[in-house]
Structure 1
Amino acid sequence: MLSSFKGIFPPVPTIVDELGNLDKPGMARMIDHVIGNGADGMLILGSGGEFCHLSTAQRKEIAAFCLQHVAGRVPVLVGIASPGTAETIELGRHAQQAGASGVLVVNPYYAKLSDEARFIHYRRVAESLETLVFLYNFPDLTGQDIGLDTITRLAREVPNIVGIKDTIDNISHTREIINRVHAFRPDFIIFSGYDEYLLDTLLLGGHGGIPATFNFAPQITRGIYDAFVCNDLYSARVFQQQLAKLSPLYALEQPFFGVIKTAIKLSGVDISTAVIPPALPLDNEKTEQVRNILAHITL
């Protein structure tokens, strides 16, 4: 089962209409696009899926629709994070019943938690579910790192916590997780969160990445992973240099949801670029900036 969690698992944006409701035809096109371009799996309702601005009912609707449309073609991770343990478990049970291959759980946000509170939260979530559980570390947005000691303890003591998406702007942090956890659990899955650390993560012993750029430039991160598997470091370097040209996209707007959707639209996928309030759609000036950044890709 864990062998299927390798490679490129793009975080698929949630396609909505101007009223913020799920655009089912657009969502279906988005899913087919990433599968058709060689994604090994996908993440639904991650950070780029705007889960933080959706109601619980909307999140369940989106998870159910996406899993039904994927129909087992690739593994699907579903983001189930919530500030409270009970709602996280509720969303996890729904995802499990809907057919998710696994769930991704960012640590509770807003209230700062002790190491013990974070550990018990994750243990309770994992023990309440039968599906595979992946940790999601994104301290820039949650305000708190899960913590290396807590990650190590969870990997050691909770069997169905099977991996982590480490979204932290410091590759040494991911290296330390690999060094610590793989010493006693070598099959623990390590996904890079930041696109530009995909190659570094693979070289250090990780398993793949969850890169948003795949949604509009799939040849680049797909190329990095395939080149790594083939030990073609020359090609990996070329793709990495192309990926670096896309990095300025993430700084164009906060949150970046509209940037990703606009880049997808400009790349030729017919989707709505509407975002869920309080996020704002891109104005014409920033749309042109996205267009100019994409124009620098030469592959």
Structure 2
Amino acid sequence: MDRDDVTWSGYWPAAPTPFTAGLELDEAGLAALLEMYAGDGVHGVLLNGSTGEWFSQSPAERRRVAEVGVEAVAGRYPVVVGVSAFTAAEAAELARHAKAAGADGVLATVPPYVHPSPAEVLAFYREVSEATDLPFMVYNWPRGVAVDLAAVPGLMSGLADLPNVAAIKDSTGDWLAMLATVEAVSDRVRVFGSLTHRRGLALMAGGLGGDGAIDGGGIGARYGVPFFEAALRGDIATARTWADRYQKLSAGMIAPDYSGRFASPISQLKAAMNLLGQPGAGSVRPPLLPVTDPIVLKQIAGVLTDAGFTPEA
């Protein structure tokens, strides 16, 4: 399997998982959120990724999110399901369920806390990616797992060579390291990374590679969707305009290392979604805390306003 076995590209939200005020899984909210994404014209979605708070869900809830999500999307855009877990066996079982639910692919980080060696990384991804015949997306997430796959010479190339790997989501905070990943593997697999800006446009327009971005929450779809559509058809001037508008929003909310400007990234995301009246936000689950400070909420509303949105009072 390689990049030509999938059509994955463009702007994808990493969907938050909605929870009710009582912290129960909000299935109707999730379906409504995915319907909103369809209206936004997104090019794919990631369920149960970091933004989806997989770490605070039970295995049964994670399976249910996959089922509800696939049913709600109904084939209108690709659905990739996150199966990150502390062991390969757990991740493989979630991958098999995702396939049974009708997902288009699966994704995983290396196990959190473990700090696996390069040989252990390859062994983990080999086992999980071969649990099904679904296209697999490797997720490099140093902020969450304290291991930067892009920092190990040759590791991304070795992962790209695994039989079922079709894509890499490289969320290193080091843009030059992400560029090295694009250069090393984009001839073989799809690469999603920090591309929704003028530097990313230069990569794609210059033929160096890069396929898309997976963005926490999808608030930026208003700008990210037309950016990638313009970039991938070679309309540089239009793409630059959308890139600048997207960056005003993104840089106002997220630091270069992917930490939040005002609170934990998922907490401030859900606060922003609630301010915009978007479906499927609700609350976060512990250990995360909701943003309730009126001063912080006003600051988030200010970023949204500056970026061209109209938050609710």
1:181 paired residue number:
185
Report 1:142-291 matches (<5 A).
142-146=145-149, 147-156=152-161, 158-182=162-186, 186-192=187-193, 199=201, 202-203=204-205, 204-212=208-216, 215-246=218-249, 247-250=251-254, 251-283=260-292, 284-291=294-301
Q: What TM-score, normalized to structure 1?
A: 0.91
Query: Once structures 1 and 2 are overlaid, which stretch shifts more, 113-122 or 169-178?
Result: 169-178
2:305 paired residue number:
295
Look up the SS of the partner of 1:292 in the other structure: helix
C-alpha contact (below 8 Å) 1:201/1:208 kept by paired residues? no
Q: Which has the higher helix share?
A: 1
- Superposed structure 1 runs of 4+ greater than 3 Å apart: 193-204
Question: What are the superposed Cα offsets for residues 132-187 of structure 1, whole Å, 9 maximum, x if unpaired?
Answer: 1110001121101123422211222x2211110000122221221222224xxx24
Q: Which amino acid aligns with 1:189?
A: R
Which structure 2 segments of 5+ residues have no match? 255-259
C-alpha contact (below 8 Å) 2:160/2:188 kept by paired residues? no
Question: What are the superposed Cα offsets for residues 24-74 of structure 1, whole Å, 9 maximum, x if unpaired?
Answer: 121111000011110011010111111122121211111111112112121
C-alpha contact (below 8 Å) 2:273/2:281 kept by paired residues? no
User: Hey, what's the Cα distance between the residues in 1 that align with 2:296 and 2:158?
Assistant: 44
C-alpha contact (below 8 Å) 2:12/2:46 kept by paired residues? yes
Deviation at 1:194, TM superposition (A): 7.3
| Cα root mean square deviation, aligned | 2.0
User: Hey, what's the Cα distance between the residues in 2 that align with 1:254 and 1:94?
Assistant: 33
Q: What TM-score, normalized to structure 2?
A: 0.87
Look up the SS of the partner of 1:209 in the other structure: strand
Identity across aligned pairs (percent)?
A: 29
User: Hey, what's the Cα distance between the residues in 2 that align with 1:227 and 1:272?
Assistant: 29
- Give the aligned length: 294
Deviation at 1:15, TM superposition (A): 0.7
Look up the SS of the partner of 1:10 in the other structure: strand
Question: What are the superposed Cα offsets for residues 80-138 of structure 1, whole Å, 9 maximum, x if unpaired?
Answer: 00121110111111111111100011111102211111111111112221111110001
C-alpha contact (below 8 Å) 1:155/1:161 kept by paired residues? yes
Q: Which amino acid aligns with 2:106?
A: V
Q: Which amino acid aligns with 1:100?
A: A
2:102 paired residue number:
99
C-alpha contact (below 8 Å) 1:198/1:209 kept by paired residues? no
Deviation at 1:212, TM superposition (A): 2.5
C-alpha contact (below 8 Å) 2:195/2:210 kept by paired residues? no
Deviation at 1:268, TM superposition (A): 3.4
Pick one of 108, 114, 118 that aligns with 1:115. Answer: 118
User: Hey, what's the Cα distance between the residues in 2 that align with 1:234 and 1:248?
Assistant: 23
C-alpha contact (below 8 Å) 2:192/2:210 kept by paired residues? yes
User: Hey, what's the Cα distance between the residues in 2 that align with 1:194 and 1:236?
Assistant: 11
Q: Which amino acid aligns with 2:101?
A: A
Tell me: CA distance 1:209–1:217, structure 2 relative to 1, closer, same or farther (3 Å): closer
User: Hey, what's the Cα distance between the residues in 2 that align with 1:154 and 1:94?
Assistant: 23
Deviation at 1:4, TM superposition (A): 2.2
1:37 paired residue number:
40
C-alpha contact (below 8 Å) 2:6/2:135 kept by paired residues? no
1:18 paired residue number:
21
Pick one of 58, 73, 81 that aligns with 1:70. Answer: 73
C-alpha contact (below 8 Å) 1:168/1:194 kept by paired residues? no
Does residue 127 (structure 1) correspond to residue 136 (structure 2)? The answer is: no
